[in-house]
Amino acid sequence: MQHKPVLELSDVKKIAQAAEACATQNNWAVTIAVVDDGGHLLWLQRLDGAPAISAHIAPAKAHTAALGRRESKVYEDVINGGRSSFLSAPGISGMLEGGVPILKDGQCLGAVGVSGVKSTEDAQIARAGIAALGL
């Protein structure tokens, strides 16, 4: 039987706090979502001024990154590269940059999804959150 690490509530809070700090430092109004390795929502935080739709997009990006165990940007690039049929992939809808998996020793623990600013900035915030874990 294999054993794998899992995110605890204290980990999720560290991620959210660091992601929020990155966003507020840059005056970016975003929504931050943290999911477990199955894409189930553990944390959702919509900062003041973040667009309402970002509360739907951030969890979708995180879900996609967790299930795929890779950044959601990979899927965006595939679609932009001409493989539009990938839009019909079952069970995933957040195929935009800004979802980043949380990886430790080759295992996916979950993911962070951010929405509200440019996609590259969303991903920057997600990575800042994950960096707080010191993996």
What is this structure's pTM?
A: 0.95
Along the 135 residues of the chain, how does pLDDT read in single tens digits?
Answer: 888 899 999 999 999 999 999 999 999 999 999 999 999 999 999 999 999 999 999 999 999 999 999 999 999 999 989 998 888 888 888 899 999 999 999 899 999 999 999 999 999 999 999 999 999
- In single-letter form, the type of residue at position 101 comes to P
Q: CA–CA separation, 68 vs 128, rounded Å?
A: 20
CB-count exposure of residue 103 (10 Å: 0-12, 13-18, 19+):
middle
